[in-house]
């Protein structure tokens, strides 16, 4: 089998987002009338950004955001250019990044060193896409609270990648198990564990001593995608994607987030 190639100018992470968005119906369908594209990047660490170089994010995602913006503008005759807001969240981010914003063209990144529970809930509810790159969900119970929050509060597709097919299958099993313990929401699979066509091209073979076999490993080699679904059919994620309408609760969250951003801008001007 030929190893898939990531297009020139794209990183494996950016290309993974690009393909996932297309597979979920495209940026216009996920936006469903919202004025800006909001992404949560969970489990971020120094691979995404450092205090000395927060712009490392551009290396991963700039080409992806540019293409999504162009796709949106070509389908949105007469509308304003798409704003993209990315919350970069993770306990392994440098604590000095807290409160820092990095802006590049039409993209604004905000850093949250810590866990999802420390992020205002309206930012979770207003997200259109959640990414968890090489997350290792199967091996860290600390992911459980975040997954349960996403199932209950978010309508967005959650993209999870893994270093190997074996790890992705383990992620899938753990997610099914955790979801069964959330009484007020269910997990709806967009796709289960499979090989990622946007996997990093630097594959390596490692020997699994426990199972006495060789395993193929690479960044983002495998992936899966799910969404939370609430009991109310009018607020379920599948309804959002099929109707193209923003659920009322998410619209409220987007308006609250806009108000928060405006307040932050006023504070910055006063300072």
pLDDT digits (tens, 9 = 90+) for 69-92: 887 776 555 567 789 999 999 999
User: For position 270, what pLDDT does the model report?
Assistant: 59
Q: How does pLDDT run across 37-63, given as a tens digit for each residue? A: 999 999 999 999 999 999 999 999 999
Contact 146, 124 (CB under 8 A): no
User: For position 3, what pLDDT does the model report?
Assistant: 44
| Phi, psi angle pair for 153, to nearest 5° | -115, -15
**What are the chain's domains?**
12-270 (3.40.50)
pTM given for the model: 0.83
CB-count exposure of residue 103 (10 Å: 0-12, 13-18, 19+)? exposed
Contact 25, 68 (CB under 8 A): no
């Amino acid at each position: 089998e030929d190893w898939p190639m990531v297009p020139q100018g794209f990183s494996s992470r950016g290309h993974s987002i690009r393909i996932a968005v297309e597979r979920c119906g495209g940026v216009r369908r996920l936006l469903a009338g919202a004025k800006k594209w909001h992404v949560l990047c969970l489990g971020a660490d120094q691979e995404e950004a450092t205090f000395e170089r927060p712009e490392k994010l551009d290396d991963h995602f700039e080409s992806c955001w540019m293409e999504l913006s162009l796709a949106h503008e070509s389908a949105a005759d007469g509308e304003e250019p798409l704003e993209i807001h990315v919350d970069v969240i993770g306990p392994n981010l440098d604590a000095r990044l807290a409160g820092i914003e990095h802006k590049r063209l039409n993209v604004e990144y905000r850093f949250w060193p810590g866990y999802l529970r420390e992020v205002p809930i309206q930012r979770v509810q207003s997200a259109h896409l959640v990414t968890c790159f090489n997350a290792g969900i199967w091996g860290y119970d600390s992911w459980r609270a975040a997954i349960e929050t996403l199932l209950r509060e978010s309508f967005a597709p959650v993209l999870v990648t893994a270093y190997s097919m074996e790890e992705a299958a383990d992620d899938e099993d753990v997610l099914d198990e955790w979801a069964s313990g959330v009484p007020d929401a269910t997990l709806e699979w967009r796709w289960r564990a499979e090989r990622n066509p946007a996997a990093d091209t630097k594959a390596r073979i490692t020997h699994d001593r426990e199972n006495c076999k060789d395993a193929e490993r690479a960044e983002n080699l495998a992936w899966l995608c799910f969404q939370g679904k609430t009991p109310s059919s009018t607020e379920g994620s599948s309804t959002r994607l099929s109707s193209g309408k923003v659920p009322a609760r998410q619209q409220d969250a987007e308006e609250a987030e806009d108000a928060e951003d405006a307040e932050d801008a006023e504070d910055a001007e006063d300072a």
